[in-house]
């Protein structure tokens, strides 16, 4: 009874978000298109963040029959998931009228997917990983397809669903192979048994890990499992793209983190080389493709591929320093990406989205405050100091150097420089290109201006005081 009570208490942030999704859905039935649903969703997320912060950083416990673990890493990732989801809902809220679906449907799907993400970052068993992954993914498929009158959105949803289903099959097949070898689905127990039998079963272990890593790589859009992301980001409504861009990436990253912490990546040395291949190819391919994009969403999609490559490079380095660097990177990425995609739909509801790179022409002359905030965001994404994005790349590369992986460090550094070009091109477009004829300022409400400015300036403040976040990541392990 005591264990059950403890499990309910430690899982209370997840239950709060789930109950909020039920409230939003039910309230919308009686008062459709009411702003109360948005306020209720944001309030539920705020309370969940508060409760999560209350538990952090002094809890370490296995709950629900050891299917889940609550520790500093769990709560830190849950806080950032809730924060990015809250920002996504806020910056999307004034655009809900343009969607075919009801506001309550969209918000409840947002929150149900968030429940899956919060469970996924706490998963300590292959069983809980798979169930949480499906709970995360199914609402996302529906969200992408929610704009039923758009052929691009439907096409994007079909691609996303088919690729997602294949990824789930890969993960499930890999799990079944490991279960057949060990008779367990607990990550730590599986790792210990495989370590004993590694010499006699190395080929089967390798195949199982390849399938699991391949399926998880789809969730992060690592090359060659990236095919869906440019089409989905550009085909789905920008409201959905904003939600897809950040929080689900933290959840997908958590699969790699839990596998690394359990020791599964250390059983076979070739696993680190496989991760290095995925990371470096993603960094190279993502940066090169982003250089030639004219659609802002596709540019940010290819940029995401590159960022995900850097995020898993820490696992290649291995050890606590590598895992800390990777965790730090994914959290910084989430903050940067929400800020980047928010700019696309920040204008008032009757104004057009900023979809093309050309839409940024002369932004410094028509809307100087937005250009200044976007410059901070793009500096951070490019890894230019003093923004926090610089330290994210720095800690990953330093972890590689400390592990004597100099070749990987050199390649990642070279393409970090290449990656700055397309971000600088965006800044050049805003500040040095003339605005189009009769170009009007981007009209934004005062509240949205304030929230966006705080969001962008936070990237600068964290860059000036990186210890605020890096110390939290160090305490996660």
Q: What is the pLDDT along the chain (477 residues), one digit of tens a residue?
A: 667 888 888 889 999 999 999 999 888 888 877 778 888 999 999 999 999 988 877 778 888 888 999 989 999 999 999 999 999 999 888 777 666 556 778 899 999 999 999 999 999 999 999 999 999 999 999 888 887 777 888 888 898 999 999 999 999 999 999 999 998 999 999 999 988 887 778 889 899 999 999 999 998 999 888 888 999 998 888 888 899 989 999 999 999 999 999 989 888 889 989 999 999 999 999 999 999 998 888 999 999 999 999 999 999 988 889 999 999 999 999 999 999 988 888 765 555 677 788 888 888 888 888 889 999 999 999 999 889 999 999 999 999 999 889 999 999 999 999 989 999 999 998 888 877 755 656 677 788 888 889 999 999 999 999 998 999 898 887
Closest CA to 305 of 272, 322, 282, 324: 282
pLDDT of the residue at 388 = 93
70 bridge partner residues:
61
Packing angle of the helix pair 247-262, 103-120 (nearest 10 deg): 10
* Residue 376 in tokens: 């901070």
Q: What is the chain's Cα-based Rg?
A: 21
417 CB contacts (<8 Å, ≥6 apart)? none
CA distance 115 to 113: 5
With 0-12 / 13-18 / 19 or more C-beta atoms within 10 angstroms meaning exposed / middle / buried, residue 201 is: middle
Measured distance CA(361)–CA(354) in Å, rounded: 11
Residue 8's pLDDT is what? 86
Question: Which pTM was predicted?
Answer: 0.94
Q: Which two tokens stand for residue 205?
A: 């272990």
* Dist CA 319 CA 128 (whole Å): 25
Q: Are the CB atoms for 311 and 253 separated by under 8 Å?
A: yes
Per the DSSP assignment, residues forming a β-bridge with 125 are 186
Decide: 123 and 175 in contact? Cβ < 8 Å: no
Residue 325 pLDDT: 94
Find the length of the chain: 477
Alpha carbon of residue 386 to chain centroid: 23
- Using CA atoms, how far residue 359 sits from 119, 243, 377, in Å, is 39, 22, 17
């Amino acid at each position: 009874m005591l264990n059950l009570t403890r499990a309910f208490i430690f899982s209370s942030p997840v239950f709060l978000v789930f109950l909020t999704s039920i409230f939003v859905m039910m309230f919308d039935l009686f008062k459709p298109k009411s702003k109360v649903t948005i306020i209720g969703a944001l309030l539920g997320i705020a309370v969940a963040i508060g409760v999560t912060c209350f538990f952090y950083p002094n809890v370490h416990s296995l709950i629900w029959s050891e299917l889940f673990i609550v520790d500093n890493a769990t709560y830190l990732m849950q806080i950032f998931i809730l924060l990015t989801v809250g920002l996504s809902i806020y910056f999307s809220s004034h655009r809900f009228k343009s969607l075919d679906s009801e506001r309550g449907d969209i918000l409840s799907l947002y929150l149900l997917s968030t429940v899956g993400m919060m469970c996924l970052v706490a998963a300590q068993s292959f069983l809980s990983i798979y169930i949480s992954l499906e709970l995360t993914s199914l609402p996302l498929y529906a969200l992408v397809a929610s704009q039923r009158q758009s052929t691009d959105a439907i096409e994007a949803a079909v691609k996303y669903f088919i690729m997602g289903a294949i990824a789930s099959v890969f993960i499930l097949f890999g799990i079944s192979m490991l279960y057949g070898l060990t008779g367990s689905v607990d990550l730590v127990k599986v790792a210990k048994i495989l370590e004993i039998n590694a010499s006699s079963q190395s080929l089967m272990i390798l195949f199982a890990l390849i399938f699991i890593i391949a399926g998880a790589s789809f969730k992060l859009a690592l090359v060659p499992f990236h095919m869906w992301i440019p089409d989905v980001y550009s085909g789905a409504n920008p409201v959905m793209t904003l939600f897809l861009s950040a929080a689900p990436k933290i959840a997908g990253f958590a699969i790699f983190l839990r596998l690394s912490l359990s020791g599964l990546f250390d059983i076979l040395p070739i696993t680190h080389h496989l991760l290095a291949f995925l990371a470096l190819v993603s960094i190279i391919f993502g940066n090169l493709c982003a250089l030639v994009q004219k659609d802002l969403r596709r540019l940010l999609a290819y940029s995401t591929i590159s960022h995900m490559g850097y995020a898993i490079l820490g696992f290649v380095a291995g050890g606590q320093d590598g895992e800390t660097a990777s965790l730090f990177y994914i959290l910084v990425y989430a903050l940067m990406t929400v800020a980047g995609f928010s700019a696309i739909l920040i204008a008032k509801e009757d104004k057009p989205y900023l979809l093309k790179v050309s839409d940024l022409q002369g932004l410094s002359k028509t809307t100087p405050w937005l250009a200044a905030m976007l410059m901070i965001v793009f500096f951070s994404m490019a890894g230019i100091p003093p923004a926090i994005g610089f330290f994210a790349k720095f800690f990953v590369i330093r972890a590689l150097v400390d592990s004597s992986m100099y070749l990987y460090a050199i390649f990642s550094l070279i393409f970090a420089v290449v990656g700055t070009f397309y971000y600088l091109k965006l800044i050049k477009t805003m500040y040095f290109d003339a605005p189009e004829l009769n170009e009007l300022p981007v009209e934004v409400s005062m509240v949205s201006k304030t929230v966006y400015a705080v969001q962008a300036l936070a990237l600068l403040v964290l860059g000036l005081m990186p210890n605020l976040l890096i110390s939290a990541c160090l305490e996660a392990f």
